């Protein structure tokens, strides 16, 4: 772009003043000039690139996924419409699907609750006046920066059946006398992947909640302490209510991404042992891409949508309600 | 939600009630739990780095050698990785895809955010809401239909497939972040420029963008991190070994039957994480503002 075209509109005004003999003083712009400054027209073109990508690669696949779930399409073969057959098949005959749905719910519930509690606790710890505070904060965030798959690989090694460092340490201390088969036993494997998810999720929650905590004025705490409030009362009646809006947003994201988790499971167990750690996302990958049953895979993916909507609704309306109670206008 | 509240919290220099706590209580109630949490959060990386530089004979022998330390570090695994495998190629793919997708998303997001915040065209609020909704659509429910779309467009197994699909994750995030930044730029500046006859495009490139540089940095480094971390699209849309990205390649290509594979596996994970951690260490504040900016309305 050149320098500011200071005179482009100015010259238009000049022409307008030249024709003042008419009653109306109105600069005469060409249709093109008017179009160029029309908000709707400009807005349309400014939105164009983002809208094009989101429509082509997000909205279209989203609807296509629903359609595919109603067909028996396979890799390399177009499908025909079969109605709800895929869903019937999954619900009535596919034990793994039901099991993975159940585990996905448990996984999300336990991991989200633990992430919330520990994240909030860590945020409260970091909100104290500490030396090296910003350094500690940067360290805490590292698990969030490192790609999930790569840290999952590290966990895979930490929880190895023969050479686990944890088994080694526990044996040294005399807690156990043989190695723990972390990823080989269904229940233990489930606990392990949940632990890893919590580990990975805490930094995000802690740092975002810390940002919320820093907006709470310390003078409120002073006032409450002078009034004789206990630590718990201060947390319950000052910190928590002021933090609720940000908690709602953070937890919505956390629940959403825990429910649709894929990477961690795929890197550590691939759904095993005996399908115990399959989440809906990994199971739909296994069925749809590895098994080639695109229709059924899409049905599993689509089956996640109602759960996600429910999660969003709950936290969203929770948030709204809190806002009304606080009488906030924003 | 927070503009006025931030002000109060930073304006008064009160320390709260923390001066009432003695050093010993602080040690138990703050430093001990903090140390414990930091230990748990960081131990996997220590273990990853240590395994990557341990010689093979120490790797699995926990009895004769202390597993938590090594006196004979070796760069054999890392060297093998960088000079005798496809790893540099995978690293290059990851970076290329991440930078291209980030750049593309940033352009789209700047335009969209400016239009929504400042042009306020008819339906701007709806557009903003839809973009926020797009934020809530996780890749795990899209990858199957998206893979058929990718095949239909002839993009399968090409980096372009990732460069075009990653923006679906990045654009909503970047747009929301930038909308927040653009809102803080005073209207008056823009009005002055309009009176002086600047076009919208000139206002955007000459006034808004220079003022929004911190926001652009936050958005781009965070977007880079998201790209680097992305797994499911890269796993589904890329099939040939040389075209893979680091996360996918480490999971799929290193897992042979070799009992000593852990050394190279951990070296792969370490080298794949380091660029991000280095980038992060330079831009910590921008990361934090990107994270917190994205969750505030």
Is residue B70 located within the same domain as residue B172? Answer: no
Place of tokens 């890392």: B78
Q: Looking at the domain assignment, is residue A80 inside a domain?
A: no
Tens digits of per-residue pLDDT, A97-107?
999 999 999 99
**What's the rounded Cα separation, in Å, for the pair A120 and B116?**
34
Of A51, A154, A211, the CB nearest to B47: A154
Bridge partners of A71, per DSSP, are A81
Count of CB atoms situated within 10 Å of the CB of A38: 13
Percent of chain A with pLDDT over 70: 87
Is residue A31 located within the same domain as residue A174? Answer: no
Residues in Cβ contact with A308 at an 8 Å cutoff, skipping those fewer than 6 apart: A256, A259, A260, B136, B138, B141
Is residue B106 located within the same domain as residue B173? Answer: yes
Tens digits of per-residue pLDDT, B18-59?
666 677 887 888 889 999 999 999 999 999 999 999 888 887
Count of CB atoms situated within 10 Å of the CB of B54: 24
Domain residues for B57?
A: 16-74
Is residue A115 located within the same domain as residue A179? Answer: yes
Query: Which of B70, B183, B295, B296 is the best residue to mutate to test the A interface, defined by the most A CB atoms within 10 Å of its own CB?
Result: B295
- Say if B58 is an interface residue toward chain A (CB within 8 Å): no
Q: Looking at the domain assignment, is residue B119 inside a domain?
A: yes
Is residue B69 located within the same domain as residue B94? Answer: no
Final residue before a domain boundary, out of B24, B48, B74: B74
Confidence class of residue A326 from pLDDT cuts 50, 70 and 90? low
Is residue B26 located within the same domain as residue B143? Answer: no
Is residue B109 located within the same domain as residue B240? Answer: yes
Nearest to B96 by CA among B181, B49, B166, B12: B166
Is residue B186 located within the same domain as residue B249? Answer: yes
pLDDT given at position A132: 86
Q: Looking at the domain assignment, is residue A74 inside a domain?
A: no
Number of domains in chain A: 2
Is residue A272 located within the same domain as residue A203? Answer: yes
- Say if A55 is an interface residue toward chain B (CB within 8 Å): no
Is residue B97 located within the same domain as residue B52? Answer: no
- Say if B36 is an interface residue toward chain A (CB within 8 Å): no
Tens digits of per-residue pLDDT, A236-273?
898 888 888 888 888 888 999 999 999 999 999 998 78
Domain residues for A196?
A: 85-326
Q: Looking at the domain assignment, is residue B25 inside a domain?
A: yes
Final residue before a domain boundary, out of B74, B99, B123: B74
Is residue A151 located within the same domain as residue A31? Answer: no
Chain A residues with beta carbon closer than 8 angstroms to that of B173: none
Does the global pTM surpass 0.90? no
Secondary element (H or E) of residue B292: helix B284-295
Is residue A309 located within the same domain as residue A234? Answer: yes
Q: Looking at the domain assignment, is residue B268 inside a domain?
A: yes
Is residue B100 located within the same domain as residue B158? Answer: yes
For A74, list phi and psi in degrees, rounded to 5. Answer: -125, 170
Cβ contact, residue pair A218, B247, below 8 Å: no
Count of CB atoms situated within 10 Å of the CB of B198: 23
Is residue B140 located within the same domain as residue B264? Answer: yes
- Tell me what the mean pLDDT of segment B275-282 comes to: 91
Is residue B25 located within the same domain as residue B172? Answer: no
The answer to whether the beta carbons of residues A284 and B120 sit under 8 Å apart is no
């Amino acid at each position: 772009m050149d320098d500011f075209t200071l005179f482009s509109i100015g010259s238009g005004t000049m022409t307008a003043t030249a024709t003042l003999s008419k009653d109306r003083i109105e600069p005469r712009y060409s249709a093109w000039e008017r179009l160029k400054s029309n908000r709707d027209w400009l807005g349309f073109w400014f939105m164009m690139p983002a809208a094009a990508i989101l429509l082509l690669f997000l909205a279209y696949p989203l609807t296509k996924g629903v359609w595919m779930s109603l067909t028996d399409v396979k890799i390399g073969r177009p499908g025909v419409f079969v109605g709800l057959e895929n869903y019937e098949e999954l619900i009535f005959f596919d034990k793994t699907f039901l099991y993975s749905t159940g585990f996905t719910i448990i996984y999300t519930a336990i991991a989200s609750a633990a992430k919330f509690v520990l994240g909030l606790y860590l945020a409260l710890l970091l909100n104290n006046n500490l030396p090296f505070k910003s350094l500690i904060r940067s360290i805490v965030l590292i698990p969030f920066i490192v790609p999930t798959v790569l840290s999952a690989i590290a966990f895979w090694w930490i929880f190895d059946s023969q050479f686990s460092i944890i088994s080694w340490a526990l044996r040294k201390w005399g807690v156990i006398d043989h190695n723990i088969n972390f990823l080989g036993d269904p229940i233990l494997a489930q606990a392990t992947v949940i632990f890893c998810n919590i580990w990975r999720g805490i930094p995000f929650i802690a740092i975002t909640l810390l940002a919320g905590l820093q907006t709470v004025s310390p003078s409120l705490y002073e006032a409450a302490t002078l009034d004789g409030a206990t630590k718990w009362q201060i947390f319950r009646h000052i910190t928590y209510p002021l933090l609720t809006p940000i908690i709602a947003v953070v937890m919505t994201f956390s629940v959403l991404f825990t429910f649709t988790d894929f990477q961690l499971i795929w890197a550590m167990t691939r759904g095993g042992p005996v399908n115990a750690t399959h989440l809906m996302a990994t199971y739909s990958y296994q069925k749809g891409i590895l098994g080639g049953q695109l229709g059924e895979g899409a049905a599993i993916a689509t089956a996640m949508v109602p759960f996600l909507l429910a999660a969003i609704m709950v936290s969203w309306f929770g948030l709204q309600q809190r806002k009304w109670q606080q009488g906030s206008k924003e | 939600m927070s503009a006025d509240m931030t002000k109060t919290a930073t304006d008064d220099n009160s320390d709260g009630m923390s001066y009432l706590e003695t050093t010993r209580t602080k040690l138990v109630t703050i430093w001990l739990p903090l140390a414990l949490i930091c230990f748990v959060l960081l131990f996997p990386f220590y273990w990853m780095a240590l395994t990557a530089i341990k010689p093979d004979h120490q790797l699995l022998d926990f009895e004769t050698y202390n597993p938590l330390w090594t006196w004979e570090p070796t760069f054999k695994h890392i060297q093998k990785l960088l000079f005798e495998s496809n790893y540099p190629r995978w690293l290059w793919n990851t970076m290329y895809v991440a930078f291209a997708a980030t750049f593309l998303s940033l352009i789209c997001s700047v335009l969209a955010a400016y239009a929504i915040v400042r042009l306020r065209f008819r339906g701007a609020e709806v557009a903003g809401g839809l973009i926020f909704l797009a934020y809530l659509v996780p890749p795990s429910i899209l990858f199957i239909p998206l893979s058929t779309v990718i095949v239909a467009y002839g993009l399968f197994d090409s980096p372009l497939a990732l460069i075009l699909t990653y923006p679906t994750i990045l654009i909503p995030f970047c747009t929301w972040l930038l909308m927040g930044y653009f809102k803080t730029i005073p209207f008056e500046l823009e009005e002055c420029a309009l009176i002086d006859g600047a076009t919208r495009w000139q206002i955007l490139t000459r006034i808004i963008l220079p003022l929004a540089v911190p926001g652009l940095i936050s958005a781009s480094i965070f977007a880079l991190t998201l790209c680097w971390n992305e797994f499911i699209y890269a796993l589904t849309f890329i099939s040939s070994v040389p075209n893979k990205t680091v996360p996918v390649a480490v999971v799929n290509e290193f897992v042979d039957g070799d009992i000593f594979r852990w050394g190279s596996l951990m070296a792969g994970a370490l080298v794949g994480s380091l660029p991000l951690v280095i980038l992060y260490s330079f831009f910590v504040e921008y990361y934090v503002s990107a994270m917190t900016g994205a969750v505030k309305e």
